[in-house]
Amino acid sequence: MAFLPKYIEFHGTIKRLRLKDNLLIKLSIAASAIALVALMFPRGEAIEYEYKVGSIWVEKDLIAPFSFAVHKEELQYEKEKREAASNVYPIFERSARAEHVQRESLGTALERFRFTPGLQSIWIQRQKFSGILDDVLRIGIVGERRLIQTHRFVAIRKGTEEELVASDRFYDLEQALNMIETRLLGSFREGEVATQMAAAFRRILQPNMFYNHAETEKLIQIAIDDVPRTVGFVQENERIVGRQERITEEIRLKLDSLRKGRAERAAGHSHVWQHLGVVLHVGLVTMLYGIYLFLFRKRVLHDNAKLALIALLIVIECFFAYLSLAIDVRLPIQFLILVPAASMLLTIIFDSRLAFYGTVTIALLIGGIRGNDYAISLASLVVGALAVYTVRDIKHRTQIFRSLIFIFLGYVVVILALGFERFAPVNTIMTELAFALSNAVFSPVLTYGLLIFFERVFNVTTDLTLLELSDFTKPLLRELSEKAPGTFHHSVTLGSLAEAAAEAVGANAVLARVGAYHHDIGKLMKPEYFVENQLAGKSKHNRLRPRMSALIIASHVKDGIELGREHGIPQVVLDFIPQHHGTTLMNFFYDKAVQQAAARKNPKDDVHEEDYRYPGPKPQTKETGIVMLADAVDATARVLDDPTPQKLEAMIDNTIKTRFMEGQLDECELTLRDLTKIKQSFLKILAGIHHSRIKYPEQEKDEKKVVPTSSATTENISVPPQDQYAPGSESNLVTEQAQAQGGPKPSS
């Protein structure tokens, strides 16, 4: 087909479509998500109990199944080890060799002064200078003071014995030099002598006390090893905690030790069965969500990119839960698991029901990761549901931040309810509320940022983006209203029809309306070739052959997609441009070509029907199918004479039936029940637009003065061709009427 637009690759993109809905990719996404989440579950520990200090044990009496030691709390044990290490004094050793070298160097320096004129006095008093050096070395010089600043005492090792010495007694190199210079200036009146000897000492003096790192570390390790790891022992068959007993710190340590004891006893056995159990656990939870998608959200299930997005959100939330356990702090950081962010993202990107079931799935999984933590599962479910509610009907991105209040209120209710039930201390409740407030603040911020990221990376178009595109002040729609006002008015009317019909059949009403607004933007390139934009005068098609007219009319599809891409219109909206025409036939030009061929006595076969058909594809979604029907119905309604409700209903019924019989709706999801609802929606809107008006006496007098147009006059006006001439684009009644009157055919 000569006018087939280059960008329409419907038949050439079968491979891409198969990848989008490839079963192997779906299984890979599911398997990867399940594996990653399963890896975050606790390993080697029994996780059947949930307990906190201050809560009441609601299970039956817990009896020790075996004997085990009661381990200290990890933080307390680490603290005691640090204290033991800090009590070990750093070990220093005096270097006799370093002292001997410095004394030899001083003797050599003094020997040079023996024959230096004016400085012989230095040689004469050499014993005094040697005494100063000995005094400094006796006290001791360390290389780095930081090695002794952390301890009040250090151990000076002499063979097998050690002597504790106050750490502030020693000099560092700079202090030793300053002390020597002070003694020299106080002992010698001759400034030259003091200066020369100070310079000599600065060249000679070196540390004589050295830190023995290996011996010190050895003693530190011995001290750490001596710290007891346990604080008690539980005998087999001993009662650990009784039913309705309050859990104390001592009981919590016993419960923790029981879990570790079970892990140690299982260490010699294979963990295959436990791994298998975790995988089955995660698989069952995610399978329930998959069943929901299969039954009620097939469009999402058939889009691997969207499945990957959902899986990524679930894995991220589970990773937050894993971090809340991996970070060893005595704070309720589980309330920083940003479940509300995932709930809001799922709502905005998909819909509220899918988001709610996703929230349930996430809440169950993070509860499992945290050792069957019912409290955090309940809190996540409540605040996630509230987050879904707050953005369910969002119109602007900034409305995301109004969810902050609802999220915090949800946490407040859950924390207070569980806190009162478990007799939690007030300071514990207040700390949890503080972390919940942080979650309420961070979740909207994260949602706002990730929403933009997901829209770009996963090529999803949210209702927020669609609502922004429906603004008539946007450059593309504003230009359409200025350059092609007829097309713009038609698109607005089409938007109302499509939106009402989409709501009636459960389709995306916002997408249908925005798609209708943009379905004819390609007419901006040549608006004067379309009858709705012709104010007066003859049609430009009168001078063209039917084949050329068909090419020009069809080109608005190609021009529309190129123009939309230049303005950043999402692909899901651009799909309305070719699909609302489907593969319909431009009847007017085809019939005209056949008539001209017959007049020239050329065989009819010289005119090929496929040259006058739109290239398609046919509508692939409910929304594009609705816009196709709305376009045909609106075009036909414009040429109805006296459009009463009865005529409108007959016209709508006939138009929808024709499109259905042509097979234009074969590839979308519209059912016969949907078509009935669409018909009723169209009739309600069109009846309101074309309702009859009361004629006042002055209007009736004016109508009598109007001279009817003669048939001769009508024949001199050629029929302005349109871009919508497929069978069924208007009803048979309207087609016959238009042909009989010689008037224009309906516009699209």
pLDDT at 72 over 80: yes
* Segment 535-548, tens digit of pLDDT: 665 677 777 888 88
The CA–CA distances, whole Å, from 482 to 471, 490, 518, 606, 638 equal 15, 14, 15, 41, 22
The CA–CA distances, whole Å, from 306 to 299, 493, 710 equal 9, 32, 61
Instruction: Tell me if 707 is assigned to some domain.
Output: no
Are residues 494 and 456 located together in one domain of the fold?
A: no
Per-residue confidence (pLDDT) for residue 575, from 0 to 100 = 95
Instruction: Tell me if 441 is assigned to some domain.
Output: yes
User: Of 223, 244, 263, which residue is a domain's last?
Assistant: 223
pLDDT at 719 over 70: no
What backbone torsions phi and psi does residue 54 show, to the nearest 5 degrees? Answer: 100, -20
Q: Can you tell me the mean pLDDT for 351-371?
A: 94
Distance of CA 566 to the CA centre of its chain: 27
User: Of 200, 223, 246, which residue is a domain's last?
Assistant: 223
Are residues 454 and 492 located together in one domain of the fold?
A: no
Lowest mean pLDDT among 206-215, 236-245, 675-684: 236-245
Are residues 569 and 650 located together in one domain of the fold?
A: yes
- Note down the domain range covering 384: 11-43+272-460
Per-residue confidence (pLDDT) for residue 663, from 0 to 100 = 93
What backbone torsions phi and psi does residue 6 show, to the nearest 5 degrees? Answer: -65, -30
Listing DSSP states for 495-543 in one string gives HHHHHHHHHHHTS-HHHHHHHHHHTTGGGGSSGGGSGGG--SS--GGGG
Lowest mean pLDDT among 21-30, 395-404, 447-456, 575-584: 395-404
622 pLDDT band, cuts 50/70/90, is very high
Are residues 439 and 502 located together in one domain of the fold?
A: no
* Segment 567-578, tens digit of pLDDT: 989 999 999 999
Are residues 445 and 594 located together in one domain of the fold?
A: no
Q: Rounded to the nearest 5 degrees, what angle is found at the Cα of 10, between the Cα atoms of 682 and 512?
A: 25
Per-residue confidence (pLDDT) for residue 694, from 0 to 100 = 53
Instruction: Tell me if 158 is assigned to some domain.
Output: yes
Are residues 25 and 97 located together in one domain of the fold?
A: no
Are residues 408 and 316 located together in one domain of the fold?
A: yes
To the nearest whole percent, how much of the chain has pLDDT over 90? 43
641 neighbors 27 (Cβ within 8 angstroms): no
Per-residue confidence (pLDDT) for residue 600, from 0 to 100 = 75
**CATH code for position 627:** 1.10.3210
What are 50's strand-pairing partners? none
Per-residue confidence (pLDDT) for residue 17, from 0 to 100 = 53
Calculate the dihedral angle through the C-alpha atoms of 727, 733, 734, 738, rounding to the nearest 10 degrees: 100
532 pLDDT band, cuts 50/70/90, is confident
144 neighbors 92 (Cβ within 8 angstroms): no
Instruction: Tell me if 370 is assigned to some domain.
Output: yes
* Segment 154-177, tens digit of pLDDT: 888 887 788 888 888 888 888 899
Q: Is 668 left (phi over 0), alpha (psi -120 to 50) or beta?
A: beta
Are residues 418 and 335 located together in one domain of the fold?
A: yes
The count of structural domains within the chain is 3
Instruction: Tell me if 2 is assigned to some domain.
Output: no
Which of the 8 DSSP states describes residue 417? H
* Segment 405-440, tens digit of pLDDT: 999 999 999 999 999 988 888 999 999 999 999 999
User: Of 223, 258, 287, which residue is a domain's last?
Assistant: 223
Instruction: Give me 69's structure tokens.
Output: 């030691």
Distance CA 620, CA 21 (A): 14
What backbone torsions phi and psi does residue 448 show, to the nearest 5 degrees? Answer: -60, -45
Instruction: Tell me if 403 is assigned to some domain.
Output: yes
Instruction: Give me 552's structure tokens.
Output: 């020009």
Residue by residue, what is the 3-state secondary structure of 629-656? Answer: HHHHHHHHHCCCCCCCHHHHHHHHHHHH
44 pLDDT band, cuts 50/70/90, is low
Are residues 508 and 445 located together in one domain of the fold?
A: no
Instruction: Tell me if 52 is assigned to some domain.
Output: no
Instruction: Tell me if 473 is assigned to some domain.
Output: no
The CA–CA distances, whole Å, from 234 to 26, 56, 251, 254 equal 50, 21, 11, 8
**Residue 474 or 538, more confident:** 474
Task: Identify which of 136, 131, 140 has the alpha carbon closest to the alpha carbon of residue 93.
Answer: 140
Are residues 134 and 213 located together in one domain of the fold?
A: yes
Are residues 427 and 554 located together in one domain of the fold?
A: no
Are residues 289 and 409 located together in one domain of the fold?
A: yes
pLDDT at 54 over 60: yes
* Segment 253-305, tens digit of pLDDT: 888 888 888 777 765 555 678 788 899 999 999 999 999 999 999 889 999 99
**CATH code for position 303:** 1.10.1760.20
